[in-house]
Structures are given as structure tokens and as C-alpha cells.
Amino acid sequence: MAEDIIRVENLHKSFVSHNKSTEVLQGIDLSVKAGEIYGIIGKSGAGKSTLVRCINYLVKPSSGKVLFEGTDLGELGSRELNQVRHQMAMIFQQFNLLMQRNALKNICYPLEITRVPKEQAKQRAMELLKLVGMETRANAYPAELSGGQKQRIAIARALASNPKVLLCDEATSALDPETTKSILELLRDINHKLGITIVVITHEMAVIEELCSKVAIISDGKIAESGDMAQIFMHPQSEAARQLIFPNRKSIPEMRSRRYCRIVFDGRSSFEPVVANMVLDFGQAVNIMFADTRNLDGMAVGQMVIQLPDNPEVALRMIAYLRDKQISVEEVSDHA
């Protein structure tokens, strides 16, 4: 088992404004293993941006620990902390490039501050430009680049110091879906090719699905749930997780009094017409409220919400029928 490259232990952070203290993070624990792509997802205001800034100590926690490769960042002086930051790069929603430097010089910045000789830095920057597919725009200034191109330069800049970890703070939230996809591909590529651990902060489930193997769901300053992406996707335990996986559930209020089931099947059973067979066997209709199949970690995963017949006995037998077919069935009754 790979060791934890990042560990967060019982992290609290409060901000004081207008003499009122708000606890943004309320005891966060998480651990990221080397080589993982770890997603942290939550709604805006959940505290995820503060959390990621605590990981590289841009924001100092009120209490609790952040360990990078076993080193407690809270015990480091500013010089040592800066050395850690050379190994833990970050990209941002708004790219945050230096506007008065061209692409090449932006990528050279982290090398300049670690006193890499100029020629060597330039050579490395050119390599990185190639890696992110921007070698033809070396002399372009950020103002001349599109959002996706700026993020590519920002990624190249982040990689310049050969970091072990890349923190992504809503890195695709300012981009259109097409560009988002290409940036996510680039990030996955970087993870595969360079073995860099990636921590992704986002409010978009699609980003997590596309990229992450592990996920933590943050809600109201606490981790509601964390673990393997596939596991959480198939069996969400917390309300916060269900809301994220299943965002439109609340849009069918007129069906409140009925009985619903969420069924999840893995790649194997999604090829069987299970629901159709069930309907034929029982001679009773079910109403498909929601259906979706996705590619998760190379495995086809489908989920459906079906409305069961009003007859409780039939409903129970249908649930048993589905379970018998090795399908995970969960009654979605909290809005009933």
C-alpha cells in the first residue's frame, strides 16, 4: 500500500469578520495516497477552497494538522514551507498567470525563484510547453490566450518545479464543457505519465466522475463521506452524496406520496433487460423516473430510479426480485 502523501487531521478553520467567528472547516480528516487523483467535491460555501488552501498552508488552520510526506506543515518556518510548496503546486479557477509576462516567462517563474540558471529554465519551460500542447504560443501574453490555453500554461507553470502534488482549485469551472474535457484529459495524462498526485477541488460531479479514483464529499465544513469513487457512486450513504450524484431528485415533488427505488447495476447486469423482464414477469408496470449509465473507472455503471406499483406487496416482491438478480436496490423514501 502506498504511503499517504497528504494527511489532514482534525482540521478546523474559523474566520473572524465583524466580530463574528464562522467555523468554515469543522474537523476535517483525509488522507491522499501518492499517485492518486483525489476529488474533493462540495457545493459553494462548503469550505472546499479553504480546505485546499490549508493543504499548502496558504491559509493557516485554526487547529489540527496537515502532513506532507509525514512533515507537519505547522511546524515549518516560512523558508521550509516555501520548499514544501515547490513540491506541491497549485492551479486555479482564474488561472492567475502573470499578465506582464509571456507564456514562456510565466513557466520560468517558479524556476527563477529557485535560482535555476536561465538557459536551463528556458529549456525546461519549452519542454513543458510541448507537454501541454502550447509550444507554438511561447511568446504569447496571457491576454492573447483563451481560457483553456491559459489553464494549459498555468499547468505547465505548476509542473515546472517538478512537484509531487498538484492541487487543482476549481480548475475547469471557468471553462466551457469542451475545453473542460481537454483539460481533464491533460490532467489525467499528467497523473499517468509523471505519476503526480492530483487533488481536485470542484463543485461539479462530472469532473469527479471523469477524473478521480477517490472522493471526499464536503458539506457544511465537514467530510460527509469519503472513499472509492465507484463505491460512493453506487452506495452513497450521506444525504450530501445523494444530492450530488442525483442532483435533480427534488424536481419531482408531485410524486411525493409514492414509493421509489434507486437501483444500481454493474457492467455485467446492465446488459440484461432486467427491468423489462421484471415487468413482464409481474405483469405490473413500473415507472422509470431517472436512468443514467456512465463509464466509471473502465466499468459501465448504470443507475435508475423506478417508481414501484402502489400495491405494497408487489413492491416488496419486486425489490426481492431485483436483489435476487444481484442488483443493489435502495428505497428512496426520504421524500415520500
Partner 1 sequence: MHDLILLFLENTRDSIYMTVVSTLIAYVIGLPLGILLVVTAADGIRPLRALNKVLGALVNLLRSFPFLILLFVISPFTRLVVGTTLGPNATIVALVVAAAPFIARMVESSLREVDGNVIEAAQSMGSSSLQIIMKVMLPESRSSLILNAAIALTTILGYSAMAGIVGGGGLGDLAIRYGYYRYQYNIMYIAVFLLVLIVEVMQGIGLMLAKKLDKRL
Q: Which is nearer to partner 1, 47 or 163 (CB)?
A: 163
| Residue 144 binds partner 1, judged by CB under 8 A | yes
With contacts defined by CB under 8 A, name the span among 112-120, 198-206, 217-225, 226-234 that binds partner 1.
112-120
Q: Which is nearer to partner 1, 148 or 236 (CB)?
A: 148
Task: Write the interaction track for partner 1 spanning residues 146-165; mark x where CB under 8 A is met and - where it is not.
Answer: --------x--xx--x----
In whole angstroms, the minimum distance from the beta carbon of 156 to partner 1 comes to: 13
- The backbone torsions φ and ψ at residue 238, rounded to the nearest 5 degrees and listed phi first, read -100, 155
Q: Which is nearer to partner 1, 58 or 296 (CB)?
A: 58
Q: Which residues contact 160 (CB under 8 A, 6 or more apart)?
A: 107, 108, 109, 110, 111, 124, 125, 128
| Cα–Cα distance, 333 to 116 (Å, whole number) | 61
In whole angstroms, the minimum distance from the beta carbon of 138 to partner 1 comes to: 14
| Residue 76 binds partner 1, judged by CB under 8 A | no
Q: Which is nearer to partner 1, 8 or 55 (CB)?
A: 55
Identity of the residue numbered 286: V
Which residues are bridge partners to 169 per DSSP?
Answer: 201
| Residue 256 binds partner 1, judged by CB under 8 A | no
Where would I find the H helices in the chain? 48-55, 78-86, 103-113, 118-131, 147-159, 177-194, 205-211, 229-234, 239-245, 274-282, 312-324
| Residue 79 binds partner 1, judged by CB under 8 A | yes
Q: Which of 71, 83, 162, 277 binds partner 1 (CB under 8 A)?
A: 83
Distance in Å from the first CA to the final CA of the chain: 43
Task: Write the interaction track for partner 1 spanning residues 22-61; mark x where CB under 8 A is met and - where it is not.
Answer: ----------------------------------x-x---
| Residue 171 binds partner 1, judged by CB under 8 A | no
| Cα–Cα distance, 308 to 185 (Å, whole number) | 40
CA-to-CA dists, residue 214 to 2, 59, 169, 221, 287, angstroms: 14, 24, 16, 19, 33
**Contact between residue 105 and residue 112 where contact means Cβ atoms under 8 Å apart:** no
| Residue 68 binds partner 1, judged by CB under 8 A | no
**Contact between residue 68 and residue 81 where contact means Cβ atoms under 8 Å apart:** no
| Residue 173 binds partner 1, judged by CB under 8 A | no
| Residue 112 binds partner 1, judged by CB under 8 A | yes
Q: Which of 81, 138, 296, 314 binds partner 1 (CB under 8 A)?
A: 81
Q: Which of 22, 63, 98, 299 binds partner 1 (CB under 8 A)?
A: 98
**Contact between residue 305 and residue 260 where contact means Cβ atoms under 8 Å apart:** yes
Q: Which residues bind partner 1 (CB under 8 A)?
A: 56, 58, 78-79, 81-86, 89-90, 92, 94, 96-102, 109-110, 112-114, 141-144, 154, 157-158, 161, 167
